[in-house]
């Protein structure tokens, strides 16, 4: 299927968890300008040998991955090195899980974790607009 051509502002394909996988798989077909992957499920919990890194690396668009530091579906240290024409950018939310919840004893509060995510995504979108 040929990529769509649409008038108006650029589209950013995005999603959280399984939605992030779908965004990566469909970005080229949607003619998306970029991909936002929140809590990308790199592998099933406890099954790192079942990596889904191919989906992430094949997004074909500039990609931002925001990942919890203690995500059982793949922590930031487990992600492959970004490479290619459209390497992805990875931002860790320290101590956050797959739903971006942080423990009460964490160095940052839940509100601070959500503000971090919002600020990172907003800054990334601003930089996309500068391209």
The SS3 call for residue 89 is: strand
Q: In what order do the strands lie in the sheet with 12-16?
A: 12-16, 34-38, 63-68, 88-93
Bridging pattern class, strands 88-93 and 34-38: unpaired
Q: What is the model's pLDDT at position 130?
A: 67
Please, are residues 101 and 69 in contact by the beta-carbon 8 Å criterion?
no
Residue 3 has pLDDT above 90, yes or no: no
Q: What is the model's pLDDT at position 121?
A: 97
Residues 54 and 123: their CA atoms lie apart, in Å, by 26
Which CATH superfamily includes the segment(s) 12-129? Alpha/Beta hydrolase fold, catalytic domain (3.40.50.1820)
Q: What Cα–Cα distance (Å) separates residue 58 from each residue in 26, 47, 51, 63? A: 10, 21, 13, 10
Average pLDDT over the chain reads 90
Q: What is the model's pLDDT at position 131?
A: 63
Please, are residues 48 and 80 in contact by the beta-carbon 8 Å criterion?
no
Q: What is the model's pLDDT at position 128?
A: 85
Task: Tell me the per-residue pLDDT of 63-122, one tens digit each, with 9 for 90 and over.
Answer: 999 999 999 999 999 998 877 776 799 999 999 999 999 999 989 999 999 999 999 999
Q: What is the model's pLDDT at position 81?
A: 84
- Higher per-residue confidence, 127 vs 20: 20
Q: What is the model's pLDDT at position 7?
A: 62
- pLDDT band of 10, cuts 50, 70, 90: confident
The SS3 call for residue 92 is: strand
The phi, psi pair for 109, rounded to 5°, reads -80, 170
Residue 8 has pLDDT above 70, yes or no: no
């Amino acid at each position: 299927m040929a990529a769509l051509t649409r008038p108006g502002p650029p589209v950013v394909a995005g999603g959280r968890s399984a939605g992030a996988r779908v965004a990566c798989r469909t970005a080229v077909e949607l003619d998306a300008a970029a991909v936002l992957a929140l809590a990308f499920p790199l592998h099933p919990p406890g099954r790192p040998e079942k990596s889904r890194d191919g989906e992430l690396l094949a997004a074909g668009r500039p990609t931002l991955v925001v990942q919890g530091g203690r995500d059982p579906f793949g922590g930031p240290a487990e992600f492959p090195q970004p490479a290619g024409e459209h390497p992805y950018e990875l931002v860790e939310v320290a101590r956050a899980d797959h739903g971006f919840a942080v423990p009460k004893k964490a160095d940052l509060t839940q509100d601070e974790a959500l503000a971090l995510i919002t600020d990172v995504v907003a800054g990334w979108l601003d930089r996309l607009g500068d391209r």
